[in-house]
Amino acid sequence: MTSNVTAVSYGRNMTPNGLEQLRSVLASHGAAVQSEASHGDDRYQVHIAELDLPDATAAGLAALRRAVADTAISGMDTALVPASLRSAGRKLLIMDVDSTLIQQEVIELLAAYAGKREEVAAVTEAAMRGELDFTQSLHARVAVLAGLPADVVDKVREEVKLSLGAGELVAAFKAAGHVVAVVSGGFNQILEPIAGDLGLDYWRANELEIVDGALTGKVLGAVVDRAAKEKFLREWSAAEGIALEHTIAVGDGANDLDMLGAAGIGVAFNAKPAVRAVADAAVNMPYLDAVRYIGGV
């Protein structure tokens, strides 16, 4: 028998007992383990099990994912990935930016210069939980920036830090010949130098309006919202000749849900509960490069 699904487990406190629990759940759904291997470093451990799953349809895979998630094995998470995705010659990795590719929410860093950080952070949290319309909430949050000197953008850019493992993740995908993209509800003025430094193939974000050396409190053009993120995933994968089944999307908020749902596998990265509940996989530790193991890179 050959493997048609791979169980990729990762965590900072994985135990033999946890892996036995996983094997039990897999076996109860008829998944036969073909081979196992261990990876990782001093940050986290990785366990990869190649499986033969009798029902590897979308419905069968979803059922197994629910069973594994419901087991809630302590110290580890497990992604169940179609073997066809992991073995694909070319893949597209697409990521959200704020609280995914980078550690911060840029709008909150900007708002701090207007003395409105806490107010804006509360709105951001509600929007990421899916409680507010993203476009309306973005306009409201950007409005508080009106009148700030444009050089605050440069100051905020210096405050931004990549998520742990982000550089390694991008480098690994690029070195293997895959395509890496990011799409953000944040701002081009912050994202452009990051995209250049990382050598991203595609990137898109909102544009802050600047007039006479000051922020106007507005964004130019259509907002990059939930629907736009999915649209860019589809456009960029088509432009590269990469099937959607061979794409990996990573995000943390409600604004990412359509993109995560359309990708071959959607990964919730330290995400809001509503996102974790529907994503195909979850990474609940600060190391973004765990996604490379999910993608088989």
Residues recognised as catalytic: 96, 98
Supply 286's token pair: 């600060």
How many other C-beta atoms can be found within 10 angstroms of the C-beta atom of residue 38? 11
Length of the chain: 297
Dihedral (CA of 205, 209, 214, 217) sign: negative
Nearest C-alpha neighbor of 77 from the set 285, 244, 241? 285
Nearest C-alpha neighbor of 185 from the set 136, 133, 229? 229
Distances (CA, A) of 139 to 13, 118, 206, 209, 219: 42, 17, 11, 12, 7
Supply 297's token pair: 């890179």
Tell me how far apart the alpha carbons of residues 242 and 237 are, in angstroms, rounded to a whole number: 5
Buried b (16+ CB within 10 A) or exposed e, 126-149: ebbebebebbebbebbbebbeebe
Q: How far apart are the first and last CA of the chain?
A: 23
Distances (CA, A) of 184 to 113, 128, 159, 190, 276: 21, 13, 18, 11, 19
Tell me how far apart the alpha carbons of residues 202 and 264 are, in angstroms, rounded to a whole number: 18
Q: Spell out where 12-164 has E strands.
A: 32-40, 45-52, 77-82, 92-95
